[in-house]
Structure 1
């Protein structure tokens, strides 16, 4: 996939669609709508929220996946701190391929999101998990054992 498609004023808006494992340009079903608000345009195009990960301002990237019965059936909205981009997946198998490609990023976002929401009283749980992963143990005072 290359960068976002450019738009000529006399042409319909185009977007990237993952279709049968290949990226193709097709008419963008959201940007070609007259609604001014993006969320309203997404809903007017028939998309409904399917899943999301990350919280605005708490993680470096938020992913929201929208779905509808008409193709392209899935809209992947990637929101960064400065900019938002989206791509489409034609069918559920295409959406699963794209989710698989994004899995390492999504996993990192999930962990970052959980740490960002942790309360001071639960931080010891994270320390215990890290100690276990690294084969470390602590005494009753919290001091690492050799």
Structure 2
């Protein structure tokens, strides 16, 4: 089973450089298409203790996470490249999650490890089979 396994939905951030960049001593000229594979960073013990374990609390702000660089996770970009819909997306996610958690108990019973397939983003190879059981107190 995939208990505690990290399975990202995306693989990289892709950009075309607007100006020359010196990267690790190499000149990367403006106009070059570059990709940064975040999964490599997320699975590095240099940045994360137990990188292959599902530990969502590692992203909470506080002293216990001081070794995580603030730009390590930037799904909406930063500064001039920040997604214009970021706040709407975050608000929608919070409202939806609050509604789900308040009204349902979620259960997932996988009989074998979950596999992913690549279609620009990563998707589960088969349906997850998540059960939404109504809460009696909800």
TM superposition score normalised by structure 2: 0.31
TM superposition score normalised by structure 1: 0.29
Higher RCO, 1 vs 2 (CA within 8 Å, ≥6 residues apart): 2
| Bigger CA radius of gyration | 1
